[in-house]
Amino acid sequence: MQHSPLTLEALLVLDAIDQRGSFASAAEQLNKVPSAISYIVQKLEEQLGVTLFVRQGRRSVLTPAGLHLLEEGRKVLLAVGKLTEQTQTIAHGWEPKIRIAIDTIVDERKIFKACHAFLAEHENIELDFKEEVLNGTWEALIEDEVDLVIGASDPIPSQQGIRAKALTQHHSCFVAAPNHPLHTLKRKLAESDILKYKTVVVHDSSRNAIAKSSNIIEGSKHIYVSNLQQKICAIEVGMGVGFLPSEQIRAQIEAGSLKQLKLIKQVEPQQLNIAWKVINKGKALKALTACIENEFN
């Protein structure tokens, strides 16, 4: 690799001069003598073949070339600082990053509230979120695409090495837009009442596992969507009917954009889990899992 005249020390010097406005003030900030600061800048200018600073009164001001160098150099300094912190974090048993799959059915507000509390205590840990549906959530964990899954529904996969804990109960209700014809029946509905209408269903996001369905009205025609938000929107505009999480549509029910339909056959609550692989013994995963469990409890 060709030797570069740029060093971290030189970038720190440029940053200090720009912030303090003079070589002398930068020297004071960096605990160096002014002649050392001048030497570093002069040497860098000679090696690059450019002028980095010009004098404007008593201030040293960056030239356009110097400004570009510093702007890009600050990105390098931030990256180096982050790398240093992450290395120290790993050395103490804390992972630098946790990959998380959230099932579309779970209330994300509670999850992000818990994650916010976690990051307030562990700001050097990166969190990487993705959305999955049904068996796709379990598949992401089994195939090591993520470190943690939240809101995965029963049954828990039989593979050894997965640790799963019940997180919350999912309660759903059957809803339609307020002007949907099913509301005119004014009674509890049998499945036969629903068959002539389209039901909105969220696709299982699994790519290799057998696709799973939840609360499907067998025999009805389906409209498939990718996530829960799309399902809510599709039902609100009257494209179809379907089951939605009671907690997550409270605002729509109160506003009147969705209206519940009573069914003869009651739907049982569904257990949602939080899970990870037992081989993952990182301190960050343990701490984050505790934060999420506390929020749901």
Output phi, psi for 259, to 5 deg: -135, 130
- Model pTM score: 0.69
CA distances from 169 to 117, 126, 165, 273, 296 (A): 23, 28, 12, 9, 10
Output phi, psi for 141, to 5 deg: -75, -45
139: tokens are 């598949």
Q: Give tens-digit pLDDT for 158-203.
A: 877 899 999 999 999 999 999 999 999 989 999 889 988 999 999 8
CATH entry, 8-91, from 1.10.10.10, 1.20.1440.230, 2.40.50.100, 3.40.50.2000: 1.10.10.10
Q: If you ran DSSP here, which 8-state letter would residue 66 be given?
A: H
Outline which parts of the chain fall under CATH 1.10.10.10: 8-91
**Which pLDDT value is given to residue 93?**
77
pLDDT higher at 132 or 1:
132
Mean pLDDT value across residues 107-112: 94
Burial of 160 (0-12, 13-18, 19+ CB in 10 A): exposed
The domain made up of 97-169+271-296 has a fold known as D-Maltodextrin-Binding Protein; domain 2 (3.40.190)
Q: Give tens-digit pLDDT for 115-138.
A: 999 999 998 889 999 999 989 999
Outline which parts of the chain fall under CATH 3.40.190.10: 97-169+271-296
CATH class of the domain defined by 172-268: alpha beta
Q: Give tens-digit pLDDT for 59-74.
A: 888 999 999 999 999 9
Outline which parts of the chain fall under CATH 3.40.190.290: 172-268
**Which pLDDT value is given to residue 211?**
57
Output phi, psi for 18, to 5 deg: -65, -40
CA distances from 159 to 98, 99, 133, 143, 156 (A): 22, 20, 19, 11, 9
